[in-house]
Amino acid sequence: MSTSGSTILDSDLHGIAVSPGIAIGPAYMYARVSFNVERRILEPEVVEEEYERFERAIKRAERDLHKIIAVTREKLGEDSATIFEAQLLMLRDHSLYPEVQAYIKNHNVNAGYAVQTVMSKHRQMMEASDSEYLRERANDLLDIQERIIRHLRRARVLSAIDEKTIVIAESLTAADVILFSRRGVLGCATEFGGPTSHVSIMARALSLPALVSMKDVSNQVENGDIVILDGIKGELIVNPDAKTLKRYKTKQRRYLRLIQEDKSLVPLPAETLDGHHISLQANLELREEIEQLSEYGAEGVGLFRTEMLLLMEGRALVTEEEQFAQYKDVVEASSPGPTTFRILDLGGDKMLPMAHREHNPFLGWRGIRIMLDKLDLLVPQLRAILRASANGPTKILLPMVSALEEVREFKVVLAKTMAELSEEGIAYDPNVPVGIMVEVPSVAISADQFAAEVDFFSIGTNDLTQYVLAVDRGNDLVAHLYNEMHPAVLQLISMTTEAAKKAGISVSLCGELATNMRAVPVLLGLGVDTLSASPIYLPAIKRVIRAMKQSEGQALAQKALVASDAGEFRDMMDRWLEEHACGVSFFLEGAGLA
Partner 1 sequence: MIEKEVIVTNRAGLHTRPASMIVRAASQFKSEFYIHKDGYEINGKSIIGVMTLAAEQGATLMLQFDGEDEHEAFDALAALFKDGFGEVI
The residues annotated as belonging to the active site are: 198, 510
Q: Of 254-262, 314-322, 430-438, 559-567, which part binds partner 1 (CB under 8 A)?
A: 314-322
> Should residue 357 be labelled a site residue for partner 1 when binding is judged by CB under 8 A?
no
> Should residue 315 be labelled a site residue for partner 1 when binding is judged by CB under 8 A?
yes
Closer residue to partner 1 in complex, CB, 127/225: 127
- Calculate the alpha carbon distances from 520 to 280, 292, 517, 529 in Å: 12, 22, 5, 11
Which position among 318, 390, 445, 503 is part of the footprint of partner 1 (CB under 8 A)? 318
DSSP bridge partners of 228 = 24, 237
> Should residue 349 be labelled a site residue for partner 1 when binding is judged by CB under 8 A?
no
Distance CA 494, CA 235 (A): 31
Distance CA 510, CA 504 (A): 20
Residues 70-89 that bind partner 1 (CB under 8 A): 82-83, 85-86, 89
Q: Of 50-58, 100-108, 129-137, 399-407, which part binds partner 1 (CB under 8 A)?
A: 129-137
> Should residue 224 be labelled a site residue for partner 1 when binding is judged by CB under 8 A?
no
Instruction: Establish how many alpha carbons lie within 13 A of residue 223's alpha carbon, considering only the half-sphere containing its beta carbon.
Output: 6
> Should residue 93 be labelled a site residue for partner 1 when binding is judged by CB under 8 A?
yes
Closer residue to partner 1 in complex, CB, 98/430: 98
Widest Cα–Cα separation across the chain: 87
Q: Of 28-36, 91-99, 410-418, 537-545, which part binds partner 1 (CB under 8 A)?
A: 91-99
> Should residue 423 be labelled a site residue for partner 1 when binding is judged by CB under 8 A?
no
> Should residue 307 be labelled a site residue for partner 1 when binding is judged by CB under 8 A?
no
To partner 1, the closest distance from the beta carbon of 54 in angstroms equals: 16
> Should residue 102 be labelled a site residue for partner 1 when binding is judged by CB under 8 A?
no
- In single-letter form, the type of residue at position 175 comes to A
Instruction: Tell me how many degrees the CA angle 295-297-303 measures, rounded to the nearest 5.
Output: 100
> Should residue 128 be labelled a site residue for partner 1 when binding is judged by CB under 8 A?
yes
CA-closest candidate to residue 503, choices 556, 442, 562, 436: 436
Closer residue to partner 1 in complex, CB, 39/315: 315
CB count, 10 Å around CB of 267? 8
> Should residue 313 be labelled a site residue for partner 1 when binding is judged by CB under 8 A?
yes
> Should residue 312 be labelled a site residue for partner 1 when binding is judged by CB under 8 A?
yes
Which position among 206, 355, 469, 471 is part of the footprint of partner 1 (CB under 8 A)? 355
To partner 1, the closest distance from the beta carbon of 424 in angstroms equals: 22
How would you write 401-442 as a 3-class SS string?
A: CCCHHHHHHHHHHHHHHHHHHHHCCCCCCCCCCEEEEECCHH
Instruction: Establish how many alpha carbons lie within 13 A of residue 475's alpha carbon, considering only the half-sphere containing its beta carbon.
Output: 8
Which position among 7, 34, 95, 294 is part of the footprint of partner 1 (CB under 8 A)? 95
- For residue 193, the SS3 value is coil
CA-closest candidate to residue 382, choices 352, 337, 344, 331: 344
> Should residue 352 be labelled a site residue for partner 1 when binding is judged by CB under 8 A?
yes
Angle between helices 97-107 and 47-76 (to 10 degrees): 160
To partner 1, the closest distance from the beta carbon of 313 in angstroms equals: 6
> Should residue 572 be labelled a site residue for partner 1 when binding is judged by CB under 8 A?
no
- Calculate the alpha carbon distances from 419 to 383, 453, 454 in Å: 11, 20, 20
Residues that bind partner 1 in the complex, under the rule CB under 8 A: 82-83, 85-86, 89-90, 93-96, 122, 125-126, 128-131, 133-135, 137, 140-141, 310, 312-316, 318-319, 346, 352-355, 374, 376-377
